[in-house]
Amino acid sequence: MKKAIQTRQQLEIENAELRSRLEEAEETLSAIRNGEVDAFVVTKTKSVQTIPLYGTDYLYRAMVEYMNEGAVTLTPDGTIFYCNPYFAELIQTPSGKLIGSSFQILIKQDEQNAFITLLKTSSQTNAQVEFYLQKTTSTSIPVQLSLYKLETENLIAISMIVTDLSERKRTEQALQQRNRELTLLDHANKVITSSLDLDQILAHVLAELYQQMQVIGSFWLTDFRSGELVCRQASGPSGKIIQNRHLLPGQGISGWVAQHGESLIIPNATLDPRHFGEIAHLTGEVYLSILAVPLRSKKNVIGVLQVLDSQEGRFTMADLTIVESLAASAAIAIENSRLFESLQSELKIRQQTEQKLHELSITDELTGLNNRRGFLLLAEHHIKLMRRIDKTILLAYVDLDGLKQINDTLGHLEGDKALIQTAFILRKTFRESDILARLGGDEFAVLITINEYDHYQLIMDHWEKNILEFNTLQQYPFKLSMSIGILSLPSDNPFSLEEMLNQADKVMYEQKQKKKGY
Amino acid sequence: MKTKQSLSPETGPPEEKSAKAVQYELRLYVAGQTPKSLTAFANLKKICEEHLAGRYQIEIIDLLKDPQLASGDQILAIPTLVKKLPEPIRKIIGDLSNMERVLVGLDLHKK
């Protein structure tokens, strides 16, 4: 009985378990029928797999279908298995025509082999390579291909993201262009601000223009007197030929620009009636594209910067902007240089005038000797020097005898001649290092530098000889006679120059009195 | 290695008046980010917040990443919710859109 009860209990437990499993199975079936499950767990011998049903990845598919990049699935040999609408639009071909075709025929011909190699070598890790897709026969699109090889038990495929690089390339090119422009402006401005030598500045600016834009140019400056344009600097093989050439007012493209104060872009100069072919004929070179901008200073046009290229339609508005900026800086340099040149010239004239005035202020106009003022200035300086080197100071005070008589009997003209000839004799007698002066009227002074080799008496003899010679020649209606007072003082004497002069004057007077017999 | 995420509420409302606070441990088996898996998770969160606020813990197991973890609870179809605690262990298959069925399965409503 007991055994029967136990068996019954066991059966009930087993039944309950079976019922539970049946319920679970029914629930599972019901869930499947209602579409509430989207994956199953499958156990194969020792491995367990989770298998999602078809359509459960539609979120991903939606993402791929609508994303803003191209998505392509390829078979290992490069056949297109799937592509999203973005890619079809990018390549301007319906996806229906793309699926089943080889991806490599979409690539630019010279890059196709590289793509085939990439397909063969791409692994599970991402490969990102840039190619050009052929959009039409004449245009291609730069793209980046990101490849990923999918390998499962039943499938090998290559998934690829196609990123359009057109915008990035355009931005890169624009940045590069901007960089070149900024470099050009920076270098040119450095040159412009570092020198006042106009030719140097203009030559450097043209060199920078060639370096950054590969174009030749020329600076034409206005001659304000004639209104002509003169080529101040030119680059290129014929630069030297056209330098210093003239254009008449309004002549040629540059002449027009100077007259109207407006920039010009000429795509083909040979078709423009304003083009002055003479210069081209001179150089033997043909430049089709011309870009000319006025050089302005305070609203005035002071010249033209002309830029040339042999290619037709070379210059754009962007080029115009950069050249106009350059022209603005160059105009400042030209004005500064001109200002500097005129300042230099004015300074030179002023210096010359000052020199002249200075000379006049210390020079006796009649004889050309120092006047009293000049003598005092020079002698003071000289005496200080004598004192420093401990040399004897020798001062001669000279009076021209009988000047009044010459004036009264022969006239003031002869009197002036007598004074001039006296000065001449003094110059003949003394050295350049000696300081000669006409103090005023008929009085002269000489500050004599004397060293150990000089002999005072020899100087005096030489002086007398010169006077005698003059009188012997009788070239003038008068004879010259001088009364001389010599003062010899050691360098450390306590007297001022004025005191020395007074002393010498006294000595001269004594000599004069002696001559008269007093 | 298990791939799971656990979720527990930080705060909860006061205990329900008719029972002492029983902690529910729930395990949701998913297969990556499939639509049904996402729906099941969203529905489960909603139900737990409404009926088990402050006394539940949800564990997410992704069988796409670790299929071996299915054997522990003998999972066949995905998504499946397993009530580990309080006992008895119950399984609910599907995206849990039928709230009545879910509440019955969790012993929160009578059949």
| Alpha carbon of A57: minimum distance to chain B alpha carbons (Å) | 6
What is the pLDDT at residue A29?
87
How far A144 CA lies from chain B's nearest CA (Å)? 29
Do B91 and A24 lie within an 8 Å CB cutoff? yes
- A39: alpha, beta or left, given left = phi > 0 and alpha = psi -120 to 50? beta
Q: Does the pLDDT at position B17 exceed 70?
A: no
Token pair 């840039």: residue:
A130
Long-range CB pairs of A296-302 (<8 Å, 24+ gap) are A296/A261, A296/A327, A296/A328, A296/A331, A297/A331, A297/A332, A297/A334, A297/A335, A301/A222, A301/A258, A301/A261, A302/A221, A302/A222, A302/A331, A302/A334, A302/A335
Q: What is the pLDDT of residue A145?
A: 92
CB A41 within 8 Å of CB A50: yes
d(CA A492, CA A390): 7
What domains are there in chain B, each with its CATH number?
A: 22-105 (3.40.30.10)
pLDDT of residue A255: 92
CA distances from A382 to A201, A394, A449, A490, B20 (A): 49, 11, 9, 14, 126
Q: Choose, out of B87, B93, B96, B104, the residue to mutate when testing the contact with A (most A CBs < 10 Å).
A: B93
Rounded to two decimals, the ipTM of the complex is 0.74
Nearest CB partner across the interface for A41, out of B75, B94, B97? B75
Instruction: Determine whether the interchain pair B94/A31 forms a contact, defined as Cβ–Cβ distance below 8 Å.
Output: yes
Directed axis angle between helix A497-516 and helix A372-388, to 10°? 110
How large is the average pLDDT for residues B76-80? 92
Q: Which of B63, B93, B95 sits opposite A50 (nearest CB)?
A: B63
Asked if A52 lies within 8 A of B35 by C-beta distance, the reply is no
What confidence score (pLDDT) does residue B111 get?
A: 55
DSSP three-state, residue A162: strand
CB contact under 8 A, B35 and A58: yes
pLDDT of residue B19: 46
With an 8 Å Cβ cutoff, are B77 and A56 in contact? no
B33-60 residue pLDDT tens: 677 887 888 888 889 989 998 899 888 8
Best mutation target among B62, B76, B80 (most A Cβ atoms within 10 Å) is B76
- Contact assignment for B64 to A32 by CB distance below 8 Å: no
State which residue of chain A sits closest to B33, comparing Cα positions: A57
Q: Do B36 and A37 touch (CB under 8 A)?
A: yes
Q: How close B58 comes to chain A (CA, Å)?
A: 20
3-state secondary structure of A49: strand
Amino acid identity of residue A178, one-letter, is: R
Helix axes A166-194, A198-213, angle to 10 degrees: 170
Residues of B in contact with A52 (CB under 8 A): 31-32, 34, 64
Is the sign of the CA dihedral B95, B98, B99, B102 positive or negative? negative
Nearest Cβ partner of B76 from A34, A36, A40? Answer: A40
The Cα–Cα gap between A162 and A131 comes to 10
Closest to A115 in 3D by CA, of A84, A147, A91, A137: A147
> Which of A297, A276, A289, A286 is CA-nearest to residue A231?
A276
pLDDT in single tens digits along all 518 residues of chain A: 777 777 888 898 899 889 988 888 888 888 888 888 888 888 887 788 888 776 556 677 778 888 999 999 887 778 887 888 999 999 988 887 887 788 999 998 888 888 888 887 765 556 788 898 887 667 889 999 998 887 766 567 788 999 999 999 889 988 888 888 788 888 878 877 777 788 888 998 898 888 888 899 999 999 888 889 999 999 988 888 888 888 888 889 999 999 999 999 999 988 988 888 766 777 777 888 999 999 998 878 999 999 999 889 999 888 898 899 889 888 988 888 877 777 778 788 878 877 887 777 888 989 999 999 989 888 888 887 777 777 777 899 999 999 999 999 999 999 999 999 999 999 999 888 889 999 999 999 999 876 655 567 788 888 999 999 999 998 999 999 999 998 888 877 888 888 989 999 999 998 888 887 75
